[in-house]
Structure 1
Amino acid sequence: MNHGLTTQRILSIDALRGITILTMIFVNELAGVQGISAWMKHMPADADAMTFVDAVFPAFLFIVGMSIPFAIANRKAKGDSTAQLQGHILFRTLGLVVLGVFMVNAEGGYNEAAMSMPIALWSLLFYAGVILIWNVYTTPNATLKYVLRGAGIVLLIALAFLYRGGDDGAGHMTPQWWGILGLIGWAYLIACIIYQVSKGNLAALFGAVVFCLGYYAIGRTLNEDSGLQVLFSQGGHASHTSIVLMGIILSIIFFHGKGKKDNRRFAEAAVYTVILLVAGFLLRPYFHISKIYATPTWCLYSAAACTIIFSFLYWLIDLKKQSAWTTFFKPAASNPLLTYIIPFVIAALMHLLHVSWPDVFYQGVAGIVWALVFAVAVMSLVTVLNKLKIKLQL
């Protein structure tokens, strides 16, 4: 099932991950900026359109998919048994889901007055727990590692009990919509299962993509009063899983077997792109493009865009050896979880200290420039944190 995949990191995949992370930070900061063009914002749910902003989340899902074959091959190369491999997948999924649920509850649904601390402090303690649990410790003292991770787990459990939600303050943490990381976690789990069961067979993986999108389509067309509606209520997860599967397919297209000619790689990727675009075009009259609704057209067009971008990066970095410029992205690409949470840590800290950025940072061109500066600053901060041996790994 490893298809002759290398256990070495693929620079072009890391570059795509790093670029996606930079774009994510940029657009998240840009979200609060007024007086900018619509193409720099998320499209409304019913707009039948998408911008590059709407392609950031599916790009993450796609990269997760591209990484799965390599991750599984690497675990097997290290001697993991089947049980150990499945345990790793399950614990990674659990980590993503826990992170997602905590983060989404910190964003809304809380009742600060009923809690024993400000939500900003609660959030900062949560992120401290995350670092304690998932930091990659370099100390040879195994006892110290277990103590630090155990302290992080206890902290998260305590924060879960301290959380209060609802108007009356009697509510507790709920999954809500799982948060971005939670959605990635569920899609990752399902895609890993499908990849292993199919043994990486392309026909089977294409069939799984069709099944996921078909499942979504059936759920959207059923009458709300239909007794079958409950069976097709997870269409969003199915759509997200389809994007991860499409990322797996591209990895197999590019890296299946040894000695594959580059011309064949690009020819197959081109055909794959056409298939995705044509499928999206044919489905668009029935399912408009919408990130909010996670429609099949959004999934297919996003995957096609990722395929085109990755093909270019592979040509530029792996074939033409123009990789010096990727140095800036490497720290974040190898430490994506820490990079992802840093803006949330900064926001919580500023909220706790009752400070904010100047209003000019949220207006027009100045806001765009600030969002870019902020994104670059966060990426640079990760470089410093990496040197301080703070690296998170699920």
Structure 2
Amino acid sequence: MAFFTHHTEKVLSRCNENRLLALDVLRGITITAMVLVNNPGSWSHIYAPLKHAQWHGLTPTDLIFPFFVFMMGISIGIVIQRAKSFPIQHTKIWVRTLKLFGLGLFLFLFYINFQQAEFSWLEDRLYKIRFMGVLQRLALVYIITYYIAFYTNLKAQKIILIGILIGYWAINAFVPYYDGAGNKFVGELAFGNSLPAWLDNIVIGSQHLYYKNAQPFAFDPEGLLSTIPAVASAITGILVANVLNNAKLEKLNKVKTLATYGVGMLFIGYLMSVIVPINKQLWTSSFVLVTSAWACIMLAGLIWLLDIKGYKKWSAPFVVFGVNAIGFFVFSGVLARILLMIPVGNTSLKGHLYHQYFSQIISPTFGSFLFAFSFCCICYLVFYKLYQKQIIFKV
């Protein structure tokens, strides 16, 4: 207990007073959840809350990505006034965007299957590179949202948000599209059969998409058209930043305002879901509202718990991950791929570790979760050392 207290005090003592602690903690909780979800010991043994919804619907795991987009919007909203005073910032924004996009491509390309003699990195990775992905979507949303925040006021941002939500629903509901045989579709929101899927298949091509074999259209869950409503998720973050930037509001009033926003979006989102299903892979308008609502409510709760009540010690591990979220994401991705690439007998090092040491602990599912937790702990040791040296990976 004394060690934990000493450790947390060391972490919190290094916190930058100019940063919003609750935002770093929320970011840390979110990236930790993402790494847990992405690194089970076995994909055949996963607890239900750590799975994505099969199609329509929402699980805790489905909140992770939109939380990141929401927090990106908050970060943009917090610094945008300073950015308006220094137009040279535009160059930095483009460099940051290209770095994010490039890191996403790098994570796809960083893989060689040493267990298959016929594997060709050129044929199987480079020539079939997946152009879209988590970091690529963050990059596109970042650059678009930045310019929206830079060139518009609060009223215009609200109008753009509403316009995207209604417009995205309308084009999915009423714009017709055709398959190769000339069959006409309209208003479909099925796996492999939707306007976003049709556009991905036409513009990007099936071999460069995540769901290459989906019928009648290959598509990507981080595709082109569905990136537009992801911008709406970021704009909700900008609106929240406007509350956080308001010096006239006391912290408790900010908490109440954010909670009110969250409850309001939750009500509208679930009401809308009667017509527009909540769907992460299509990033539907109802999905935007419901996920931003939960993010808003959670941020309000963290501000109340950390800043008003002063319960901070528990948050230390999430601070370590939160201030270095991109670095953590990329490092965990590289480490996970290395564990898959190293062959051990007829399996990979990851498979060997899971089956040899984890799978029989209580149950295969618990062992799979314990593997993911152990993976996070190893990452924590690395990033705690970086945190001590104040080494922050920025893009």
The alignment partner of 2:316 has SS state of helix
The answer on whether the counterparts of 1:42 and 1:50 sit within 8 Å (CA) in structure 2 is yes
Provide the aligned C-alpha RMSD in A. Answer: 3.1
Q: Which residue of 2 aligns with 1:12?
A: 22
Please give the residue correspondences for 1:334-373 in structure 2 after superposition, counting only pairs within 5 Å: 334-354=323-343, 355-356=349-350, 357-359=353-355, 361=358, 363-373=364-374
* Matching of residue 286 in structure 1 with residue 238 in structure 2: no
Q: Which residue of 2 aligns with 1:224?
A: 177
The answer on whether the counterparts of 2:98 and 2:139 sit within 8 Å (CA) in structure 1 is yes
| 1:223 partner letter | P
Please give the residue correspondences for 1:138-149 in structure 2 after superposition, counting only pairs within 5 Å: none
| 2:165 partner letter | L
The answer on whether the counterparts of 1:33 and 1:361 sit within 8 Å (CA) in structure 2 is no
**Distance change (3 Å), C-alpha of 1:390 and 1:112:** farther
**Distance change (3 Å), C-alpha of 1:165 and 1:72:** farther
The answer on whether the counterparts of 1:104 and 1:178 sit within 8 Å (CA) in structure 2 is no
The answer on whether the counterparts of 1:7 and 1:70 sit within 8 Å (CA) in structure 2 is no
Matches of 1:108 and 1:217, distance apart in 2 = 40
Deviation at 1:9, TM superposition (A): 0.6
The alignment partner of 1:8 has SS state of coil
Q: Which residue of 1 aligns with 2:244?
A: 254
Matches of 1:112 and 1:309, distance apart in 2 = 48
Q: Give the fraction of aligned pairs with identical amino acids, expressed as a percent.
A: 22
| 1:14 partner letter | D
Deviation at 1:308, TM superposition (A): 0.8
Please give the residue correspondences for 1:133-282 in structure 2 after superposition, counting only pairs within 5 Å: 164-165=122-123, 172=127, 174=129, 176-199=130-153, 201=154, 203-221=155-173, 222-225=175-178, 233=199, 234-256=224-246, 258-282=247-271
Match 2:71 to one of 57, 63, 85:
63
Q: Larger helix proportion, structure 1 or 2?
A: 1
Matches of 1:179 and 1:108, distance apart in 2 = 19
Please give the residue correspondences for 1:97-136 in structure 2 after superposition, counting only pairs within 5 Å: 97-106=101-110, 115=120
The answer on whether the counterparts of 1:213 and 1:238 sit within 8 Å (CA) in structure 2 is no
**Distance change (3 Å), C-alpha of 1:107 and 1:291:** farther
TM-score (norm 2): 0.74
Q: 1:308-334 CA distances to partner (integer Å, 9 max, x unpaired)? A: 110010011122222233222223222
Deviation at 1:114, TM superposition (A): 7.3
Matches of 1:33 and 1:351, distance apart in 2 = 13
Deviation at 1:52, TM superposition (A): 0.7
The answer on whether the counterparts of 2:107 and 2:334 sit within 8 Å (CA) in structure 1 is no
The answer on whether the counterparts of 2:25 and 2:322 sit within 8 Å (CA) in structure 1 is yes
| 1:235 partner letter | L
**Distance change (3 Å), C-alpha of 1:273 and 1:108:** farther
Q: 1:261-310 CA distances to partner (integer Å, 9 max, x unpaired)? A: 33432332233123311221232122211111211122111111101110
Deviation at 1:341, TM superposition (A): 1.5
The answer on whether the counterparts of 2:77 and 2:239 sit within 8 Å (CA) in structure 1 is no
Deviation at 1:88, TM superposition (A): 1.2
Deviation at 1:106, TM superposition (A): 4.5
| 1:255 partner letter | N
Matches of 2:111 and 2:277, distance apart in 1 = 29
The answer on whether the counterparts of 1:33 and 1:368 sit within 8 Å (CA) in structure 2 is no
Deviation at 1:389, TM superposition (A): 6.8
- Structure 2: give runs of 5+ residues left out of the alignment: 1-15, 179-183, 187-194, 200-223, 344-348
| 2:137 partner letter | L
Matches of 1:282 and 1:377, distance apart in 2 = 43
Deviation at 1:28, TM superposition (A): 1.0
**Distance change (3 Å), C-alpha of 1:7 and 1:67:** farther
Matches of 1:211 and 1:305, distance apart in 2 = 21
The answer on whether the counterparts of 1:62 and 1:243 sit within 8 Å (CA) in structure 2 is yes
**Distance change (3 Å), C-alpha of 1:113 and 1:214:** farther
**Distance change (3 Å), C-alpha of 1:244 and 1:385:** same
| 1:358 partner letter | Y
Query: Number of aligned pairs?
Result: 327
Q: Which residue of 1 aligns with 2:208?
A: none
Matches of 1:269 and 1:349, distance apart in 2 = 42
Q: 1:150-202 CA distances to partner (integer Å, 9 max, x unpaired)? A: xxxxxxxxxxxxxx236xx9x6364x351100001111111111111113x1x
